[in-house]
Protein backbone atom coordinates (compact mmCIF):
# COMPACT_ATOMS: atom_id res chain seq x y z
CA UNK A 1 0.00 0.00 0.00
CA UNK A 2 1.25 3.47 -0.85
CA UNK A 3 -0.35 6.72 0.32
CA UNK A 4 0.56 10.38 -0.04
CA UNK A 5 -1.04 12.41 2.74
CA UNK A 6 -0.95 15.60 4.76
CA UNK A 7 -0.85 15.51 8.56
CA UNK A 8 -4.50 16.64 8.57
CA UNK A 9 -5.37 13.27 6.97
CA UNK A 10 -3.50 11.13 9.49
CA UNK A 11 -6.67 9.76 11.11
CA UNK A 12 -7.80 8.26 7.78
CA UNK A 13 -4.27 6.95 7.14
CA UNK A 14 -4.31 5.05 10.45
CA UNK A 15 -7.67 3.50 9.55
CA UNK A 16 -6.35 2.41 6.14
CA UNK A 17 -3.25 0.85 7.69
CA UNK A 18 -5.27 -1.27 10.14
CA UNK A 19 -7.73 -2.18 7.34
CA UNK A 20 -4.78 -3.67 5.42
CA UNK A 21 -4.46 -6.24 8.24
CA UNK A 22 -0.69 -5.82 8.74
CA UNK A 23 1.38 -8.06 10.98
CA UNK A 24 1.12 -6.95 14.59
CA UNK A 25 4.84 -6.16 14.69
CA UNK A 26 5.25 -3.02 12.59
CA UNK A 27 8.61 -1.36 11.99
CA UNK A 28 8.56 2.38 11.29
CA UNK A 29 11.32 3.80 9.10
CA UNK A 30 11.91 7.44 8.27
CA UNK A 31 14.05 10.43 9.09
CA UNK A 32 13.72 12.11 12.45
CA UNK A 33 10.78 14.50 12.45
CA UNK A 34 8.95 12.89 9.52
CA UNK A 35 5.96 11.88 11.65
CA UNK A 36 6.56 8.32 12.84
CA UNK A 37 5.50 9.03 16.43
CA UNK A 38 2.54 11.12 15.27
CA UNK A 39 1.31 8.21 13.15
CA UNK A 40 1.83 5.74 15.99
CA UNK A 41 -0.21 7.97 18.30
CA UNK A 42 -3.03 7.95 15.75
CA UNK A 43 -2.81 4.16 15.33
CA UNK A 44 -3.07 3.79 19.11
CA UNK A 45 -6.11 6.06 19.16
CA UNK A 46 -7.74 4.07 16.34
CA UNK A 47 -7.10 0.83 18.28
CA UNK A 48 -8.95 2.30 21.25
CA UNK A 49 -6.15 3.53 23.50
CA UNK A 50 -7.60 6.07 25.90
CA UNK A 51 -5.54 8.93 27.27
CA UNK A 52 -2.18 10.34 26.34
CA UNK A 53 0.41 8.50 24.30
CA UNK A 54 3.96 9.71 23.89
CA UNK A 55 7.32 8.67 22.55
CA UNK A 56 9.27 6.24 24.74
CA UNK A 57 12.59 7.83 23.78
CA UNK A 58 14.02 7.52 27.28
CA UNK A 59 12.11 4.51 28.60
CA UNK A 60 12.52 2.53 25.32
CA UNK A 61 8.99 1.12 25.57
CA UNK A 62 5.53 2.36 26.51
CA UNK A 63 2.61 0.02 27.11
CA UNK A 64 -0.98 1.02 26.39
CA UNK A 65 -4.29 -0.71 26.96
CA UNK A 66 -6.48 -0.63 23.88
CA UNK A 67 -10.04 -1.75 23.13
CA UNK A 68 -11.02 -5.38 23.72
CA UNK A 69 -8.20 -5.76 26.28
CA UNK A 70 -5.57 -5.51 23.57
CA UNK A 71 -2.12 -4.30 24.54
CA UNK A 72 -0.07 -1.97 22.36
CA UNK A 73 3.68 -1.64 22.83
CA UNK A 74 5.49 1.38 21.39
CA UNK A 75 9.27 1.13 21.15
CA UNK A 76 11.78 3.85 20.36
CA UNK A 77 15.30 2.47 20.00
CA UNK A 78 16.93 5.71 18.88
CA UNK A 79 19.10 5.88 22.01
CA UNK A 80 20.00 2.18 21.97
CA UNK A 81 23.74 1.52 21.64
CA UNK A 82 23.76 -2.28 21.27
CA UNK A 83 21.25 -5.02 20.49
CA UNK A 84 22.09 -6.63 23.81
CA UNK A 85 20.39 -3.69 25.55
CA UNK A 86 17.14 -4.70 23.85
CA UNK A 87 17.68 -8.33 24.86
CA UNK A 88 18.29 -7.22 28.45
CA UNK A 89 14.90 -5.48 28.51
CA UNK A 90 13.17 -8.66 27.29
CA UNK A 91 12.45 -7.57 23.72
CA UNK A 92 11.70 -11.16 22.65
CA UNK A 93 8.84 -11.37 25.15
CA UNK A 94 7.28 -8.25 23.66
CA UNK A 95 7.82 -9.03 19.98
CA UNK A 96 6.49 -12.58 20.24
CA UNK A 97 3.59 -11.75 22.58
CA UNK A 98 0.95 -11.52 19.84
CA UNK A 99 0.25 -7.91 20.84
CA UNK A 100 0.67 -4.84 18.68
CA UNK A 101 4.32 -3.75 18.65
CA UNK A 102 5.13 -0.44 16.96
CA UNK A 103 8.90 -0.13 16.62
CA UNK A 104 10.75 3.09 15.80
CA UNK A 105 14.45 2.86 14.89
CA UNK A 106 14.26 -0.92 14.37
CA UNK A 107 17.47 -0.71 12.36
CA UNK A 108 19.22 -0.68 15.78
CA UNK A 109 18.02 -4.28 16.41
CA UNK A 110 18.13 -5.95 12.98
CA UNK A 111 18.88 -9.44 14.28
CA UNK A 112 16.02 -9.43 16.77
CA UNK A 113 13.09 -8.65 14.45
CA UNK A 114 10.59 -11.51 14.01
CA UNK A 115 10.21 -12.90 10.51
CA UNK A 116 6.51 -12.02 10.54
CA UNK A 117 6.48 -8.23 10.56
CA UNK A 118 5.29 -5.32 8.46
CA UNK A 119 7.22 -2.19 7.56
CA UNK A 120 5.98 1.38 7.25
CA UNK A 121 8.35 3.78 5.55
CA UNK A 122 7.52 7.48 5.72
CA UNK A 123 9.23 10.12 3.58
CA UNK A 124 8.76 13.87 3.49
CA UNK A 125 7.77 15.16 0.05
CA UNK A 126 8.81 18.57 -1.33
CA UNK A 127 5.25 19.91 -0.92
CA UNK A 128 5.24 19.08 2.81
CA UNK A 129 3.07 15.99 2.44
CA UNK A 130 4.25 12.55 3.44
CA UNK A 131 4.64 9.42 1.38
CA UNK A 132 3.84 6.23 3.29
CA UNK A 133 4.64 2.77 2.03
CA UNK A 134 3.31 -0.26 3.93
CA UNK A 135 4.99 -3.54 3.05
| CATH number for the domain harbouring residue 103 | 3.40.50.300
Q: Which are the contacts of 33, defined by CB distance < 8 A and separation ≥ 6?
A: none
pTM given for the model: 0.94
Helix (H) or strand (E) holding 93: helix 91-95
* CA neighbor of 39 nearest in space, from 9, 65, 19: 9
Q: Mean of the per-residue pLDDT values for the chain?
A: 94
Q: What is the pLDDT of residues 51-100, one digit of tens each?
A: 888 777 667 899 999 988 999 999 999 999 999 999 999 999 999 999 99
Query: What's the pLDDT score for residue 80?
Result: 93
Distance CA 54, CA 47 (A): 15
Structural domains of the chain, count: 1
Q: Which residue range forms the structural domain that includes residue 83?
A: 2-134
Query: What's the pLDDT score for residue 128?
Result: 93
SS3 content of the chain, % helix, strand, coil (to 5): 35, 25, 40
Query: How much is the average pLDDT of 16-22?
Result: 97
Asked whether the beta carbons of 46 and 67 are under 8 A apart, the reply is no
Indicate whether 31 pLDDT > 80. yes
Q: Of all residues in the chain, what percent carry a pLDDT higher than 90?
A: 89
Query: What's the pLDDT score for residue 58?
Result: 66
Query: How much is the average pLDDT of 8-37?
Result: 96
Ramachandran class of 19: left when φ > 0, alpha when ψ lies in -120 to 50, beta otherwise: alpha
Query: What's the pLDDT score for residue 68?
Result: 87
* CA neighbor of 13 nearest in space, from 31, 30, 38: 38
Neighbours of 42 (CB within 10 A): 20
Amino acid sequence: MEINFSLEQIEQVAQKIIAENPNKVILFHGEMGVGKTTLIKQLCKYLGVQGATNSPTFSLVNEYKAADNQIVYHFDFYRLNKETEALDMGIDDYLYSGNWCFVEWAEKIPNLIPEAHSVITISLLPDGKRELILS
